[in-house]
Structure 1
């Protein structure tokens, strides 16, 4: 399948549960744990636990229905709003949020969060704390002036965005436009914590292949500068798996602070 036939995540939708099983599960044949679970969780925990990001209100704009990137956030931010492009992802998240039958089992990530925090005997507390911090899960549309219309959100103290910019952007111009949309949600002095896969040519969910705009580390750094984000920290982890579900070279964690 060539790139012209790859589906667009935010336009065509995907199998939300299948995506979680492929990239975030605890199954023995799930090879992505180092890149999709351990690295983002460790980087976000480090950034927040060292006091580099402060406030009460955090927005998450991430791919799929993942919640593991928010464990540390729920310890430091009392209010979290999650934005999603797909109704299927919202439905999947709501199953977990309200502990409904058939909800995805994230216990392997609550264990990892407890280990990071040094509180291994408090596993259930991690998910309870996160659930109580999530105020809303909203549908977003970056084609709208107000991306969460009709709801108008206050400016966030911090935004976490994991793997979403590449999959909703067809080219450099769209990437910059979408990054600016995210920055508009951030208050002056606030921080964007971005996790991105570098040099992605395609990714799969089930039997379907999806588009991703291909970019490298320098492109992201330059993009941050163009939208007025001062880089506070970044780290790159080279790919640590072998799989034909996705083609990429590394994972980037980068933190940018919005100018006052």
Structure 2
């Protein structure tokens, strides 16, 4: 498929609220719950609760203003630093953190993290804990050597990239360059988590079609190993959602670490 005319996420941006509504909301029309909500949350919870998590700092590099995957991390990390290149995404996320009128509703995602049925207190407590951890939302420029210039961030114990490498990169060389740049923020012995879509060429937000870098499981594995990572876990889930909004064939979840 010719993707030359598709827009690029970091160059054009998109309607951040529309993106959330289409791909991670609780709308009856949202068909990606199993793939984009339940699958990554289940695997992140398993990673954090069954692994040996140490450290204080987690850096998140994800698409749009998604935050649902980070609920699994707020019990383990004192500081969650979110890097965003688009002002609109920052505003959308801060609206939720500051509990402003009109903020996106994440209650459906909170329930996936809390082992309770109708305990509203536990749900509220989880969201408060998440908001407390999300006090560092930093503007960045992916093309600068120091993406956060002039800010210098502390080395991260964990990095999570939810879809960002996929929408940011034009080709394999581009992917390797950004993977190297993102992983440079990681301290020795730190972990890198990648969540992405397999064999994808486009995704739609509103009426606009955007480029999505197409790759398979083998490519991700080789890319991480090539950058000196040891893969701890790799899970692949075949597509469940039926929609023309995105042509992905599966979702991948990978956890890898660098030796000290």
Matched, 1:88 2:88: yes
Kept in 2, the 8 Å contact 1:53–1:158? The answer is no
- Within 5 Å, which residues of 2 pair with 1:35-114? 35-114=35-114
Q: Distance in 1 between matches of 2:128 and 2:54?
A: 22
Query: Per-residue CA shift, 1:164-206, capped at 9, x if unaligned?
Result: 1011000111100000011100000000111010011110100
Contact 1:114/1:120, CA 8 A, preserved across alignment: no
Alpha-carbon deviation of 1:55?
1.2
Deviation at 1:120, TM superposition (A): 5.7
- What is the CA–CA distance in structure 1 between the aligned matches of 2:19 and 2:215, rounded to whole Å? 22
Q: Is the 8 A contact 1:61 1:160 kept in 2?
A: yes
2:99 and 2:135 map into 1 onto residues whose CA distance is: 15
Change (3 A) 1:134 1:92: same
Q: CA deviation at 1:142?
A: 2.0
Counterpart in the other structure of 2:240: 240
1:135: Cα distance to partner?
A: 2.8
In the alignment, structure 2 segments of 5+ residues that lack a partner are: none
Structure-1 separation of matches of 2:135 and 2:51: 23
Q: Secondary structure at the match of 1:58?
A: strand
Partner of 2:33: 33
Q: What's the Cα RMSD here? A: 1.2
Shift of 1:217: 0.2
**In 2, Cα distance between equivalents of 1:256 and 1:120:** 35
Hey, what's the Cα distance between the residues in 1 that align with 2:54 and 2:36?
A: 25
Match of 1:149 in 2: 149
Give the CA deviation at 1:259. 2.5
- The equivalent of 1:230 in structure 2 is 230
Query: Aligned in 2, Cα 1:155/1:207: closer, same or farther, shift over 3 Å?
Result: same
In structure 1, list runs of 5 or more residues that go unmatched: none
Structure 2 CA distance for aligned equivalents of residues 241 and 139 of structure 1: 32
Aligned residues of 1:53 and 1:191 also touching (Cα < 8 A): no
Structure 2 length as normaliser, TM-score? Answer: 0.97
Residue 166 of structure 2 corresponds to which residue in structure 1? 166
CA distance in 1 between counterparts of 2:228 and 2:11 reads 29
1:48 match: secondary structure: helix
Find the counterpart in structure 2 of residue 195 from structure 1: 195
Secondary structure of the equivalent of 1:246?
Answer: coil
CA contact (8 A) 1:166 1:213 kept: yes
- Partner SS for 2:75: helix
State the 1:53 CA deviation.
3.0
Matches of 1:52 and 1:43, distance apart in 2:
15
CA distance in 2, matches of 1:148, 1:203: 27
- 1:113 CA drift (Å): 1.0
